[in-house]
Amino acid sequence: MEIRPITLREANAYVAQHHRHNLPVNGHKWSIACYDGERLCGVAIAGQPIARKLDDGLTIEIRRVCTDGTYNACSMLYGAAARVAKAMGYKRVITYTLQSEPGTSLKASGWKDCGEAGGVSWNMPSRPREEYQETLFGTERKYPDEKKRRWEKLF
- Domain boundaries in the chain? 2-154
Instruction: Kindly report each contact of residues 81-89 with a partner whose C-beta sits within 8 Å and lies 24 or more positions away, as own/partner.
Output: 81/32, 81/44, 81/46, 82/109, 82/110, 82/111, 82/153, 84/30, 84/32, 84/46, 85/46, 85/60, 85/153, 85/155, 86/155, 88/60, 89/58
SS3 state of residue 73:
helix
Q: Flag whether pLDDT at 153 surpasses 60.
A: yes
For domain 2-154, the CATH class is alpha beta
Q: Flag whether pLDDT at 144 surpasses 80.
A: no
The residue ranking higher by pLDDT, 47 or 140, is: 47
Element (H, E) at 77: helix 73-87
Q: Choose from 15-19, 39-43, 116-120, 142-146 the range with maximum mean pLDDT.
A: 39-43
DSSP lists the bridge partners of residue 46 as 30, 62
Determine contact, residues 23/31, Cβ cutoff 8 Å. Answer: no
Mean of pLDDT over the chain: 86
What pLDDT was estimated at residue 42? 96
CB atoms within 10 A of CB 112: 12
Q: Flag whether pLDDT at 20 surpasses 80.
A: no
User: How many angstroms separate the first and last alpha carbons of the chain?
Assistant: 26
| CA 93 to chain centroid | 11
CA dist 145 and 112 (Å) reads 24
Instruction: For residue 75, report the phi and psi dihedrals to the nearest 5 degrees.
Output: -60, -40
- pLDDT tens readout for residues 63-104: 999 999 899 999 999 999 999 999 999 999 999 988 888 888
Q: What does DSSP assign to residue 52?
A: G
Q: Flag whether pLDDT at 112 surpasses 90.
A: yes
